[in-house]
Structure 1
């Protein structure tokens, strides 16, 4: 006991750091207990998520305040502790610090938020959680050839917000431009074909077009960007095999596949009802002359 007392007397700084670590640990435990309480007693998903994040932020603020008041009593200990801490993280905790800085950057700058669809570091998906270390995403794409969930949940370090571009499908303007090609056979009634495609596109996409126009005005006012055409547009290209119709239109970023299906289905039915005036083209091989075979 005497040796322990003597060691404590001779190493007050180490005891002070130990007490500080214990105090911070208690705060972290309280944060987790409050989060667990909210998870069990708050039924609304949005309210529960925001409450948990608020508790987490309040906990970090409390730790900063406690650290300030704890070490200001002995500036020498405070300076030495900060020096040791800085030396340690310089080699071992760089990714951790970048992740924490990334989380602050995400929340302050509003790079993205839960519910947004983003692509970052080559991974595309819907953000389902953002904490102090990781962004959690429900992955879309990969072996699925459409914007549907693959079923995998991806955790990505928040440090990646500093390492490359972030594509946000839903922030400010929750619409994207989509297009598809339609081959029309030479000899078809081209004016009739154009009227069919434009009519169906305008009718099917009317809600998206109207909603996107008002939101695009906000984008033009907010950013240095030129105005854009959000109405469906049709471009025609002459090829060796057919007349290629290219339909470009705007659509909700979560309904690309279903909208394309509806458009193709309606256009196909309308073309079939023209009774041969408009014919879809396909790659074919035409034999001009069969050579004479000699026995």
Structure 2
């Protein structure tokens, strides 16, 4: 009996051997197809990161196919092709969940209008201006980090659109492109408080009048659209007594893109008004002033000299 006849005999007379042989053939076919797809993608995908991810995805799909094939051949529990396809689909869904969430996130952003290019948002702890949205990523020009206030850091950040499902999205410009800000002034005790209050309010009205006028209509739209109470958009001033000075707290509304510039302008004009008050209003500080040095009387005993 030659080799071929021996193989034929084992395949025909031993069903288990035949089943194992067919299983091995299918495994080899799957491995060959996966290797072919991997090589093809490796040649055609120019980006290294995309190539790496595609290789991992193909590898995972191969494991899933081999698991389904093994269960089908050696347990006999999966005879329904539809069930096998369902398990394969579930496996692919788990493997590509980040990709699927990103695509779903892009649709959610588009239809719900969570944000759009030009909006200033904060998401996943990163704040910046949205400069692009595609099916996978949101691209932002970063604000803050090592740079103070609302200035650009110079870094462009790409965030997966899946993050819209994983946490809050803070939008600085949607529906109401204004924010409330505060300015604190320490006024020295003994100053003319009423004069100081008048100066601060006058400066605030001069600098902020444009923002107040524009925000009134915008805020009315917000009140009509959402379940929210009406708010005061005019500058308001509150004072508090502290151990060291009288704390002036100015609360005002400002364009979200002009916050830093507006605060600087307010400080300049308030300082100018205080300097022109001829000492009636003075700013306080936490410095200490020594007004008198006590006299120390040192006596010596002549007997010991």
Note if 1:174 corresponds to 2:180.
Answer: no
- 1:91 counterpart residue number: 94
Do the aligned partners of residues 81 and 137 (structure 1) sit closer, same or farther apart at CA in structure 2, a change above 3 Å counting? farther
Matches within 5 A, 1:154-193: 154-193=157-196
Separation in structure 2 between the aligned mates of residue 85 and residue 266 of structure 1, nearest angstrom: 69
CA offset digits 1:239-266 (Å, max 9, x no partner): 1111110000000000100000001001
Note if 1:151 corresponds to 2:154.
Answer: yes
Do the aligned partners of residues 124 and 82 (structure 1) sit closer, same or farther apart at CA in structure 2, a change above 3 Å counting? farther
Note if 1:276 corresponds to 2:259.
Answer: no
Note if 1:232 corresponds to 2:235.
Answer: yes
- Runs of 4+ off more than 4 Å: 78-82
How far did 1:203 drift? 1.1
How far did 1:289 drift? 4.8
SS in 2 for 1:178: strand
SS in 2 for 1:267: helix
Note if 1:115 corresponds to 2:118.
Answer: yes
Note if 1:124 corresponds to 2:127.
Answer: yes
Note if 1:196 corresponds to 2:199.
Answer: yes
SS in 1 for 2:121: strand
Separation in structure 2 between the aligned mates of residue 89 and residue 126 of structure 1, nearest angstrom: 34
Matches within 5 A, 1:126-145: 126-145=129-148
Give the TM-score of the pair, scaled to structure 1: 0.71
Structure 1 unaligned spans of 5+: 1-13, 15-20, 26-77
CA offset digits 1:157-184 (Å, max 9, x no partner): 0111000000000000000000010011
- CA RMSD across the alignment: 2.4
Q: Which has the larger radius of gyration?
A: 2
- 2:217 counterpart residue number: 214
Give the TM-score of the pair, scaled to structure 2: 0.69
Give the paired residue count: 224
CA offset digits 1:131-166 (Å, max 9, x no partner): 111111000000111101000000000111000000
